[in-house]
Amino acid sequence: MTSTPYPLGVTLREDGANVAVYSETAESITVCILGDDGQETPTVLRRRTGHVFHDHVPGLVPGTRYGLRVDGPWDPANGLRHNPAKLLLDPHARAITGEYTWGQAPFAYTLGEPDERDDTDSASSVAHAIVTDPHSFDWEGDTSPLTPLADTIVYEVHVKGFSQLNPDVPEEIRGTYAGLAHPASIAYLKDLGVTAVELLPVHQFVQDSHLEEKGLRNYWGYNSIGFFAPYGPYSSAGDTGGQVDEFKAMVKALHAAGLEVILDVVYNHTAEGNHLGPTLSFKGIDNASYYRLVDEDREHYFDTTGTGNSVNVGHPAALGLIMDSLRYWVTEMHVDGFRFDLATTLTRQDGSAEMHSAFLSLIEQDPTLAPVKMIAEPWDTAGYQVGGFPASWSEWNGKFRDDVRDFWNGADSVLGTLAQRILGSPDVYESSRRSPLSSVNFVTAHDGFTLADLTAYSRKHNAANGEDGNDGESDNRSNNNGAEGPTEDAAVNARRDRQRRNLLASLLLSAGVPMILGGDEIARTQGGNNNAYCQDNEVSWFDWANADDALLAFTRRLIELRRSERALRPSWFRQGPESSAKARVGLSRSDGEEFADEDWDNPDARSIAFVFEHDGSASFALLLNAAENGVEFAVPPAPGEAWTFELSSDPEQSYDEASETTIVRGTSFTLLRSAA
């Protein structure tokens, strides 16, 4: 039967499948069908078109386990690492079953002798690809909610951690795609008011040997090996192919509830590590095409990710793999967007970060990806690139996190930067004609303290990670004031409660796209662990039994305000009452006067008033006071009806409509409304 070099991977046909694999350096590629008894049925790919080996392989039907054996030169000094004794994953595998047994077998070299090839067969020690049927799932007319960016509220969440301890989810599906799709989970998300879930990595990833030795597991999943395969252990249907349909069912259920699905994707590196890492897939198929090697020293890997390797985005094979993966998750899995981990690495095709890199250019012109939300983590270990991505992208804005934390922590001379963040960071985006919607605002994320811990701890408590507290960044922007950790001190707890509300309000009342760390709304704590990447246990899972219901109600109210009031979610602000723009903002000192240039640098200034207006909508006055003492604010003139009290982080705050001033307690905010 004839075969074709495209599409790459497995394409089902009558009596088998077409298989195509890219390699510039292999001498032969064999597809091995794996029987339940461990026996292999090999088929050599006899045809070659350009650098693609391809052939019809009989017996490849849905549910079949298979792997690749790639023969070719073994010459690590020149970047060549072929070893047919190692059974490799198909880079385009749609499903993957099993995990890795660490020892000699998964390593292509002899342990302790990195230049010496090892011929131990790895088939019984590695994960295997599974053939899937792309037509087995009925989408029943599923469509994306296509929520505009201006209306988007992102909820960053872990598939397992969200439902693992939820008593309202049946025990047999807790911690799975089905658990996230359960009506109780969806009802919670809908009641909260978010519009999109951003899932921590769900591409198939590898458990790290050094964590398993400590009795720990990779929880976050930033260790990908299968860019097309949903992570099997998150499936209640098992990992032998059922994970694909279960993932699709989750997306379908979330879409039916009006919720978008954004994937946190890790295309910048893989689980194969550096020259001492295992050979699981790409390294044994075509090492130099898929990874950036060090010039003049091709035994070693160019690494801007801190993981041992970086994907070679300067090569068509690696770029093609990424683009095929992105299109697959949009067209076949119906996801609505992507958040790119260490996205700056993906722009380094020649070493330096480039706005017009091949990676960004390919995405920009792709019609399949045009309606999809693209969010960059705009940094890597070699550089910080906030504001450096194309206008069609949004970015995790680390400046928002840092400046808002600094303000509420009482730092000196931060009013100017705080104002920029509340207004959507025009200092970052406006010069390149980008709007506030380019900024994904956040005060906490999976990496770092939770909101509850940010306000309760001044230092990290990471002993459980087994690294003597050396992991995780030392966070000098924590908002703790008083006892370290849980306390019975009523005054300390009251201040912590205010700070949590202050930070949530700063996030949800700012221009841009807000992102909430899942669990912050119920005061989820990790006991001060600010790097819980390896804590697949109660440290990381949602503790529903101890949810802070009052904070949850407060967060719901903030989100409801944002979603219902146009003045609180502008696409673009313009300053000054004389502006003719639909959305306007006014800024003033607490005494009601306009800011002079020197006021912004006043180290003692810790209060500011904003007035948000939008044609046809109510207006709002946001009064922020980060000082320890109460501050009397001259209430700005109301654009419409008289000001009325709306919300505050101070449970004792009130407002007299007849008064021209109001006192805002120390480390508190107050929000007033003027009806249109």
Locate 374 and state its tokens.
């693209």
Distance CA 360, CA 348 (A): 10
Name the residue among 31, 27, 25 with its Cα closest to residue 8: 31
Q: Which residue has the tokens 């045809």?
A: 47
Instruction: Determine the angle formed by the axes of helices 490-508 and 549-564, rounding to 10 degrees.
Output: 20
Distance CA 143, CA 76 (A): 48
Distance CA 306, CA 297 (A): 19
Distance CA 496, CA 513 (A): 25
Instruction: Identify the sign of the CA torsion 74, 75, 76, 78.
Output: negative
Give the residue numbers marked as catalytic.
341, 377
At 192, give phi and psi (nearest 5°): -65, -40
b vs e for 156-177, b when ≥16 Cβ sit within 10 Å of the residue's Cβ? bbbbbbbbbebeebeeebbbbb
Q: Which residue has the tokens 């673009």?
A: 572
Contact 499, 443 (CB under 8 A): no
Contact 620, 558 (CB under 8 A): no
Q: Strands 128-130, 643-648: parallel, antiparallel or unpaired by DSSP?
A: unpaired
- Coil, helix or strand at residue 301: strand
Locate 245 and state its tokens.
């349909």
Whether omega before 76 lies within 30 degrees of 0, making that bond cis, reads no
Report the 10 Å Cβ neighbour count for 50. 8
Name the residue among 206, 127, 197, 194 with its Cα closest to residue 161: 197
Report the 10 Å Cβ neighbour count for 314. 15
380: Cβ contacts below 8 Å, ≥ 6 apart: 268, 304, 305, 342, 343, 344, 345, 348
Distance CA 408, CA 627 (A): 8
